[in-house]
Chains A and B, each alone.
Chain A
């Protein structure tokens, strides 16, 4: 249970805390008892397929919608709107006024978050210049390319220098170059002590960027913790190629081993690599290659969230 505390009693250890958040819509329960604790200054990923409850969780954390039950505290406030001036939010469905020019669009978002308009415009000019968009500052947003418009919205999210940045599917719609830019930007903000929470259905982004993740499937948190911890839930994977296709050595392989295009793939037995290696050599396998790999986040995700969730993730378009 979170204390109904004032921001003054906030220790600052966690930028965001949520306990048993539930959101019921008329036809279904979208979020079912999500609990999170996002350390201040970390990059935190919410991982899961579309419809898993990521966006609803983020919207509850931001106070856009109220939870049916449960509690949350954002930057020390149990009412997130009270911390709005220190939060930046990039929604999945990007929202900009097409008739506004880029500079005014960014300044407007800064003014919404408490900046004086003059200061917001000054910062908008600087951000546009830093991102090579000065020539487009006075152009209506409707005339910008999709990538430029997304950059403008992102700059609007950052213009008031928030302490918590919430990005809902931020890589969606970006080309690889802009995805790389965004990754660098996320890292640089985190180095400045800003807490960043982003949702994604692309495991690779979470794996590259996040220190901690929460895997959400069907409205529930299937896993939360450090990325390493997720990986460590799986045993290392062995990839083996042999000259001999059969022999006594086969009894050293676990029953779950599968052969893919002449390569045996199986989890490293609990006894470790040495007994396995000895059994293969003694059994006359004729080892051509043997690799012991640490499992990736994808494998961890499959193990944690299940095949169905993993397939749903794979079906999502990866922009």
Chain B
């Protein structure tokens, strides 16, 4: 086992370096930006976000205080122009304990936080972070409202934020389906774009005859594992670059960021982590199969021919997984979660809709088991069908040329 991992690492290091340090990798990184560029050129990306796309903060206060806050918001909106502000929604105080928490749990669409304590002692409860764009805007509104009311205090607004990942209220399930579907689609898109590359991975070795050297030196399982890990690492490097650009773009064009989306049931940090893990599993599962299929191709043309059925198979798997959205405990969903190829898509949808991490740990272990099995089967098939033949005889080649 140790030797398998060591050998796989040697191969993965070579492949990763060869991939990432090539000029074509730069093109690969730029690829997803081309459609974005077209959108920008045609002006769609430059249009300001609509008010409805901004998150809403419920303000539990007297009508007077809300009015001051709302006017402050409008003044700032006029000042900043293109930058749209967080929406405010007035809620009359009822005097009941924990009114803010109750309101938040009521699951009103678009409401990401509740502001209480008026202009004097403001504090926030919700799914936003202390330094999020929404929280910063609220502090700005409060400061502006205080200044307008004749309070010339220059000190920064103290507004503690109590962050929460709320349990799902019944009304919010529908809203979370958006996050669920978005997570699934992103996972599918990335796997579709990236796992396909594995089809052509062994062509280089076969055309350069390096496969013979590799197979004599290390177990075939290690060759497969090394190649899978190298391409996974290259893909994650690509995703890291795209994500960084995405975060930068979000900061520039949509400061409210993920807050515009209904928060996933497990919370954003866990959701993003699970997203990365499920991408890795999905990539490894499909990749092991693609690597095995692609290993039989002898040319780039054959890889192109193989790409179509492989893509169609991925679409079918995605369709199977999409039945899980909105019905996390249905039998069909559980069946799709057990089927290894659709399991990562189903489970990322579950992470958006149902709290709790334990099912995900079990799912990841289950998927890992299948990765090992797929790898073993693919490398056995490869060994039997590809490595069986000796070098082409010279005379046969001469005849073929003639």
Residues of A near any B CB (own CB < 8 A): 25, 30, 50-51, 55-56, 59, 62-66, 81, 84, 87, 89, 91-100, 108-109, 111-114, 117, 156, 315-317
Question: Looking at the complex, which one of B13, B208, B209, B388 makes contact with A65 (CB distance below 8 Å)?
Answer: B388
Contacts of B204 in A (CB 8 A): 97
Q: Are B394 and A50 in contact (CB under 8 A)?
A: yes
Listed residue (B22, B211, B212) with the most chain A CB atoms within 10 angstroms of its CB: B212
> Hey, which chain B residues are within 8 Å of A87, CB to CB?
216
Q: Does A55 lie within 8 Å of B217, measured CB to CB?
A: no
Q: Complex: how many Å from CA A93 to CA B208?
A: 9
When distances are taken between beta carbons in the complex, the residues of chain B under 8 Å from A93 are 209, 212, 391
Query: Is the pair A99, B211 in contact by a Cβ cutoff of 8 Å?
Result: no
B18 within 8 A of A: yes
- Bound state CA distance, A126 and B398, in angstroms? 40
- The complex places the Cα of A91 from the Cα of B390 at a distance, in Å, of 10
Interface string of B207-250 (1 = CB under 8 A from A): 01111111111110000000000000000000000000000000
Q: List 12 A-B contacts (CB under 8 A).
A: A25-B388, A25-B389, A50-B394, A51-B393, A89-B213, A91-B216, A92-B391, A95-B209, A96-B208, A112-B11, A112-B214, A112-B217
**Contact flag A64-B387 (CB < 8 Å), given A91-B209, A95-B209, A111-B10:** yes
A96 touching B391, Cβ below 8 Å: no
- For residue B401, CB closer than 8 A to chain A, the reply is no
Which B residues, 5 to 25, have Cβ-Cβ distances below 8 Å to chain A? 6-7, 10-11, 13-14, 18, 22
C-alpha spacing A280/B325, complex, angstroms: 105
CB contact under 8 A between A59 and B217, given known A94-B209, A96-B210, A97-B204:
no
Note all chain B residues with C-beta closer than 8 A to A100.
14, 18
Chain B residue numbers with a CB within 8 Å of A64 are: 212, 215-216, 387
Interfacial chain A residues near B389, Cβ < 8 Å: 25
Give the interface SS of chain A, mostly helix, strand, loop or mixed: loop
Q: Could you say which residues of chain A place their CB within 8 Å of the CB of B121?
A: none
Q: B residues within 8 A CB of A97? A: 14, 18, 204, 208, 210
Closest to B210 in A: A95
Q: Is the CB of B217 within 8 A of A95?
A: no
- A99 and B213 CA atoms in complex are apart in Å by 16
Contacts of B154 on A, CB cut-off 8 Å? Answer: none
- State the CA gap A96–B212 with chains docked (Å): 10
Chain B nearest CB, measured from A31 CB (Å): 10
Is B301's beta carbon under 8 Å from chain A? Answer: no
A109 to B14, CA, bound (A): 11
Partner of A98 from the list B11, B208, B215 (CB cut-off 8 Å) is B208
- Are the C-beta atoms of A30 and B390 separated by less than 8 Å? yes
**Contact between chains at B391 and A65 (CB < 8 Å):** no
Contact A89-B209, Cβ < 8 Å, known A55-B390, A59-B390, A317-B394: no
